[in-house]
Structure 1
Amino acid sequence: MSTVFRFPLRARRAALAAALVVPVAAALAAVSSPAAAQADAAKDWPARNVRVMVPFAAGGPADLVAREVAARMGEDLGRAFIIENQGGAGGKLAVLNVARAEPDGYTLLFPASGNVVSHPLAERDMSTVEQLVPIGLVSTSAHVLVIDPKLPIRTMADLVAYAKANPGKLHFGSAGTGAVAHLGMEMLKMTAGIDIVHVPYRGTSQAIVDVMSGQIQATFSSMPSLRGMIDQGTLRALGMTAKSRGDAGLPLISDTVPAFGYTTWYGLFAPKGTPPAIIDRISASLKKALSDKALQEKLAVQGMDLEWSTPAALDALMKQDIAKWSKVIEAANIRLK
């Protein structure tokens, strides 16, 4: 005859409660471990140097700003922020390399708005950009509208009147189809109701040379690349696309063409999946770098206004630009593919 041992009810309840403690504790540990791992990663970051991919050749405005900001962030965080230039193809190579990089905070992207907004929109493919997360805005920059000084045009009002009287006779150049300067001129055409022919170039420099020689009649570009020629009288500046500390006293184009205006900008991005705690550390260091008064004054002369933002604010700015430029691209039927 077998013997059956029966536990009192109170003992059975205690045993059951004890049995539940282990799996519940394990479940809580599993839930909290990602957060704990992120906190540990942020605490140790950066344990080595950080790569910053710039989608432009060395020596240009983007490269200049990136190197100045990277140097200060490196000093702040105790590790070198190494600039790697990967120009060409609208910056697609640099954007793709960062999008595919390990999301650990050691590979960052320093693009212009054209690299992550206008070019992808013109290609009808935002999939690579969607694999990036914003860290913060770095600077904004207005464009200057310049023309061949031999034209009988001295103001924006003159340009609008001339273009309406001579539809299709004026030609403007840009750094290529889908570039921000191209979209800016298309926006001006739509807003002012004028007809000007677009001539795409492989870069802004040759377009500027051709305006001076009279091969084309107008272009948009940033003040640093134009100031010397404006001062010498080989180019005539008509106005700015937005307010800027380096505007040289030029009027806003919107004074003549209401509702027109835009800026280009530089920002800092990381691969999607980078721990938020690391994003926060990079953002804080970026803010500190951009608060440097000497750097602000140095870049203001170059026509760039340093302007830090939170990751959320940069994300909102991108969405605004996407909405704005999408309308222009559709209306002008611009396609890169």
Structure 2
Amino acid sequence: MTTSPFNPKRRRLMLGAAGLAGTGLLPAAAALAQSYPNRPITFLCPWPAGGTADATMRVLTKEMARHLGQPVVFENRPGASGMIGSRAIAAAAPDGYTIGQIPISVTRFSQLGTVNFDPLKDFTYLARTSGQTFGIVVRSDAKYKTLADLVKDAKANPGRINYGSAGVAGATHVGMEEFCLAAGIRMNHVPYKGGAPALTDLLGGQLDVLVDSSSWAQYVETGKLRLLATWGAERPPRFKNAPTLKDAGYDVVVDAPNGVGAPAGLPPEVEARLRDALRKAVASAEFRQACEKIDAPVMYQDAADYRKFVLEQYVHEKRLIEKLNLKEQIKNG
């Protein structure tokens, strides 16, 4: 009698392996995830060097490296209001070796149709880390002593006052346009690739007004710039003498929390390692001191809560796009 070469047990093992391969759960992949990281990690910052997000994210990555046991290489990818760096994160391999800061404005740009990625599908959100203190500043020799002075001149000269922001449809641009709408004024927007070069031009006299996160803080304290208003719900401790927009009578509050993410499809074991490292890095004295230095409140959220926040922001941005007619603004330059 001839013995059949068919072995039911062998067949079951082969089918099981095929099923694991289809779900990406082969033992080799699991082992790779467990050994993560075994080489340097690249962290993409979508803003120029010298800005507030750059300053805090550099400290964050140093602290992450301590807990991950591998260098976290910091790389600036500025441009398009943070979207060039965000696109690079979305397009990277989901292996945990490319992560970065994802501006919350991805929820706006995706709905404006100016980016080719989906913020709800193309990222693994790891943690929200900190917020920002936005403000409207002018040079100390400017004729505007108060926000009311600026509003009065803008009403008398529609479109003649230049203000700089970190880019078209970014948080500072949209926030300023929301304020202008509330104040019944029109100003001329000058977009930059980040807050740092806009600050340089304000100091050099090429701009009338700057709207930015607190890159201006040291210059306000040394008397080179004047802070007309901040945009948060409350006055920051270091600048209690400057009103918020709400204090000045405008129902506008603007914040843009910093978050860290990776490409979609990150292995769960790798995601867990990164989330743990981020949680510890945000809790470190070094990161908190870096945030305090630029008046950036620590606003930690782990992955689940952060993703919920992103979804809520997506809905909010849909309403804001319609309210400010942003698609038409972008179309008209």
Determine whether 1:251 maps to 2:243.
yes
Determine whether 1:188 maps to 2:179.
yes
Deviation, 1:288, is 0.7
* Counterpart mapping for 1:311-326 below 5 A: 311-326=303-318
> How many Å separate the matches in 1 of 2:40 and 2:202?
43
**For residues 64 and 228 of structure 1, do their structure 2 counterparts lie closer, same or farther at Cα, with a shift above 3 Å needed?**
closer
Deviation, 1:253, is 1.4
Deviation, 1:95, is 2.8
> How many Å separate the matches in 2 of 1:171 and 1:91?
22
Q: Give the 3-state SS of the residue equivalent to 2:239 in structure 1.
A: coil
> How many Å separate the matches in 2 of 1:136 and 1:274?
14
Match of 2:189 in 1: 198
Contact 1:186/1:328 (8 A) holds in 2: no
Partner amino acid, structure 1, of 2:275: S
Deviation, 1:282, is 0.9
Match of 2:41 in 1: 50
Contact 2:80/2:193 (8 A) holds in 1: no
Deviation, 1:133, is 1.7
Match of 1:230 in 2: 220
Contact 1:246/1:304 (8 A) holds in 2: no
Unaligned residue ranges in structure 2 (runs of 5+): 1-6
Q: Any idea what the Cα deviations from partners look like across 1:284-332, whole Å, max 9, x if unmatched?
A: 1101111012320232112222322122222233333333344444424
Q: Given the alignment, which residue of 117, 134, 140 partners 1:127?
A: 117
Contact 2:159/2:187 (8 A) holds in 1: yes
Give the share of equivalent positions with the same residue, in percent.
Answer: 26
Determine whether 1:83 maps to 2:77.
no
Partner amino acid, structure 2, of 1:124: T
Q: Give the 3-state SS of the residue equivalent to 2:126 in structure 1.
A: strand
- Which 4+ runs in 1 deviate beyond 6 A? 19-33
Contact 2:87/2:117 (8 A) holds in 1: no
Q: Normalised by the size of structure 2, how large is the TM-score?
A: 0.79
Q: Given the alignment, which residue of 273, 289, 302 partners 1:297?
A: 289
Partner amino acid, structure 1, of 2:259: G
> How many Å separate the matches in 1 of 2:164 and 2:47?
19
Q: Given the alignment, which residue of 144, 147, 170 partners 2:138?
A: 147
Determine whether 1:70 maps to 2:61.
yes
Deviation, 1:272, is 0.8
- For the aligned residue pairs, the C-alpha RMSD in angstroms reads 3.3
Aligned length: 317
Match of 2:3 in 1: none
> How many Å separate the matches in 1 of 2:195 and 2:74?
22
Higher Rg of the two aligned structures: 1
Match of 1:335 in 2: 330
Q: Any idea what the Cα deviations from partners look like across 1:252-298, whole Å, max 9, x if unmatched?
A: 21222443011123221111111233212211110111101232023
Q: Normalised by the size of structure 1, how large is the TM-score?
A: 0.79
Contact 1:122/1:178 (8 A) holds in 2: no
Q: Any idea what the Cα deviations from partners look like across 1:29-69, whole Å, max 9, x if unmatched?
A: 87678567575444322233222122234444333322211
Partner amino acid, structure 1, of 2:218: G
Unaligned residue ranges in structure 1 (runs of 5+): 1-18
